[in-house]
Amino acid sequence: MGAFYGNSLLTILAAGASDCTQGCFIRRKPARLLPASLPCWLAGREDVTKALVYFEETSSQREPLDRRAWALQEGLLAPRTLSYGTKEMWWECNAAVESDGGRQILESMSVRGLPKPIRSIMSGQFPQHNFDELMSTQRKWLYILSQYGNRNITFLEDRLPALSGIAEIFSYERQGDKYNAGLWESDMPTNLLWNTLYPADQYRTTVPSWSWASLGRLQSNNVLRFDEQDVAGHQLSLPTATCSLISASVTLKGSNRFGEVTSGVLILKGPLKRVWLRKEQMHSEKIHLDRKITLEPDVSLEAWILFVTADKGLLLEKVESADTGNIFRRFGVYHSAYTRWDCAQTIISII
* Residue 302 placed within a domain: yes
Please give the biggest Cα pair distance in the chain.
85
The pLDDT value given to residue 89:
87
Do 255 and 329 fall within a single domain? yes
DSSP β-bridge partners for residue 83: 13, 90
* Residue 150 placed within a domain: no
CB atoms within 10 A of CB 65: 22
* Residue 69 placed within a domain: yes
For the chain, where are the alpha helices, taking DSSP H only?
A: 2-6, 69-77, 116-122, 137-148, 161-173
Contact in structure between 36 and 53 (CB atoms under 8 Å): yes
Do 103 and 209 fall within a single domain? no
Residues whose CB falls within 8 Å of the CB of residue 20, separated by 6 or more in sequence, listed in order? none
* Residue 170 placed within a domain: no
Numbers of helices and strands, H then E, in the chain: 5, 17
Do 335 and 187 fall within a single domain? yes
Contact in structure between 5 and 11 (CB atoms under 8 Å): yes
* Residue 166 placed within a domain: no
Do 204 and 335 fall within a single domain? yes
Q: Report whether the peptide linkage leading into residue 208 is cis, meaning its omega lies within 30 degrees of zero.
A: no
Q: How far apart are CA 182 and CA 116, in angstroms?
A: 22
Contact in structure between 139 and 109 (CB atoms under 8 Å): no
Number of domains in the chain: 2
3-state secondary structure of 49: strand
Q: How far apart are CA 288 and CA 315, in angstroms?
A: 9
Q: How far apart are CA 149 and CA 157, in angstroms?
A: 14
* Residue 163 placed within a domain: no
Q: How far apart are CA 331 and CA 305, in angstroms?
A: 10
* Residue 159 placed within a domain: no
The pLDDT value given to residue 219:
79
Do 2 and 134 fall within a single domain? no
Do 253 and 315 fall within a single domain? yes
pTM here is 0.82
Half-sphere exposure of 230 (CA within 13 A, CB side): 4
Contact in structure between 164 and 259 (CB atoms under 8 Å): yes
Contact in structure between 228 and 309 (CB atoms under 8 Å): no
Residues whose CB falls within 8 Å of the CB of residue 166, separated by 6 or more in sequence, listed in order? 2, 72, 73, 76, 77, 122, 144
Residues whose CB falls within 8 Å of the CB of residue 98, separated by 6 or more in sequence, listed in order? 90, 91, 92, 105
Do 91 and 207 fall within a single domain? no
Do 349 and 292 fall within a single domain? yes
Domain span at residue 55 reads 1-113
Do 232 and 321 fall within a single domain? yes
Q: Give the amino acid at 52.
A: L
* Residue 59 placed within a domain: yes
Q: Give the amino acid at 23.
A: G
Closest CA to 135 of 238, 232, 240: 232
Do 223 and 348 fall within a single domain? yes
Contact in structure between 74 and 65 (CB atoms under 8 Å): no
Do 68 and 129 fall within a single domain? no
Do 83 and 202 fall within a single domain? no
pLDDT tens sequence for the chain (351 residues):
667 888 889 999 999 998 888 888 888 877 666 666 677 777 766 665 665 555 545 444 578 998 899 998 888 888 899 999 888 888 888 777 888 866 656 554 454 555 555 555 555 544 443 434 446 788 888 888 988 988 999 899 999 999 999 999 899 888 889 999 999 999 999 999 999 988 888 888 889 999 999 998 787 778 888 864 444 444 455 678 899 999 999 999 999 999 999 999 999 999 999 999 988 777 777 899 998 888 888 888 999 999 999 889 999 999 976 566 799 999 999 998 776 778 889 999 999
Contact in structure between 327 and 319 (CB atoms under 8 Å): yes
